[in-house]
A = this chain, B = another copy of it.
Amino acid sequence: MARIVMKFGGTSVADVAKIRNVAQHVKREVTAGHQVAVVVSAMAGTTDRLVQWTREAARVHDAREYDAVVSSGEQITSGLLAITLQGMGIPARSWQGWQVPVRTDGSHGRARIVAVEADELGRRLDQGEVAVVAGFQGISPDNRITTLGRGGSDTSAVALAAALNARCDIYTDVDGVYTSDPHIVSRARKLDRISYEEMLEMASLGAKVLQTRAVEMAMIQRVPLQVRSSFEPPDAPNQATVDGFGPGTLVCDEEDIVEKQIVSGIAYSKDEAKVTLIRVVDKPGVAARVFGPLADANINVDMIVQNVSEDGKTTDLTFTVPHGDLDRAIEVIEQAQDEIGYHRLVSSTDVVKISVIGIGMRSHAGVAARMFQVLGERGINIQAITTSEIKISILIDAAYTELALRTLHSAYDLDA
């Protein structure tokens, strides 16, 4: 007997038939004797429609009212799933964020969970009732509905699991975390286990399986997290591994991974734009003059490359910003042109960031060298590089995305 939080995303609850399928998954766990809390997203498309209405209502809108409108999507799903479970003879009730309560700060539209006071909910789990919790929402200190930002239901689920001392199963439309995007790398393999740290890098780099904040919270609170598919047959035998986990990917502590791979996965992100300042006056403080104004404008700069100055007077400076911030970044830089002192600004969005991720890198040299070598053999030019303890990221021409992913996937022996 275990406590489980099961989380189902929008595509898994897109209509009443799919909600019935979700109920079958819940039934399987209840029948196995587990205590189950379910966290649900809004039915696919609902949130988009609600957001659209708030935009039509006024150009600028009060985030508190946005939250009141948008949170209704999860409210609907929670009630419908509770009704469906009851119809199958399983005691269940819905819980809105304010009913649990899930206490958040007052940052409407992107609130952070402060505490989940799940005592009453836990008591009802003990009595055999399934809790169906509206994800994505909470309540602010002044009694208003808050939402956690897009994808926030993952975070709701992890926070609830932490409060209930439960494990957390995230059901989604893929059956786990892969070594790379299977749509591009046909030989990509599903990972049985991945460490929180690796998953964090994967998530923040565009592998859209789990929300970054949810992984962070799971890591800090040590919540065992499993990613699996809601579209596999709910009544299929649960191919539990030794520790009771099922057929998806387990996101866990590094120590729980026995066979550590040097490289666990190859991720990519197209959400990058490259800016190059040609012939920047090369004197102390130039970086501050460029990146200070960008920081003030709340624009995240990711990769930075400064060429060696040939004449000792000027240099070319390249950096990347999120795609959506490019126009604003250019505006900020151009306004500061006199202060910075550069000849010309060129930008491009035809770039992709490819990242090689693995906790094994900590103890293995030569991972980067191998990367540069195999890409060089393929004639792929590396435009920028950043590294962290468990990750090497490079910026390349977007046209080479598929080639680079497949090449690296083979080079690090990840092919199925």
Supposing A59-B87, A72-B72, A87-B58 touch, asked if A66 and B79 sit within 8 A by C-beta, the answer is yes
Of A48-56, A200-208, A277-285, which stretch is located at the interface?
A48-56
Chain A interface bracket (under 10, 10 to 19, 20 to 34, 35 or more): 35 or more
Main secondary structure of the interface of A (DSSP, over half): helix
A56 to B75, CA, bound (A): 17
Does A64 interact with chain B (Cβ within 8 Å)?
yes
Q: When chains A and B are docked, how far (Å) is the Cα of A94 from the Cα of B67?
A: 11
Cα separation A53 to B77 with both chains bound (whole Å): 10
Task: Report if A12 contacts B (CB, 8 A).
Answer: no
Q: Which B residues touch A88, using CB under 8 A?
A: 58
Q: A53-B16, A68-B94, A94-B68 are in contact. Are A61 and B83 (CB under 8 A)?
A: yes
Chain A residues 4-57 with CB under 8 Å of chain B are 16, 19-20, 50, 53-54, 56-57
Q: Is A69 an interface position by the 8 A CB rule?
A: yes
Chain B residues lying within 8 Å of A57, measured Cβ to Cβ, are 16, 19-20, 80-81, 83-84, 87
Q: Is A384 an interface residue (CB 8 A)?
A: no
A65, B53: Cβ atoms closer than 8 Å: no
Given known A53-B16, A53-B80, contact A86–B62 (CB-CB < 8 A): yes
8 closest residue pairs by CB, A with B: A58-B87, A69-B79, A68-B79, A72-B72, A57-B83, A16-B56, A65-B79, A61-B83
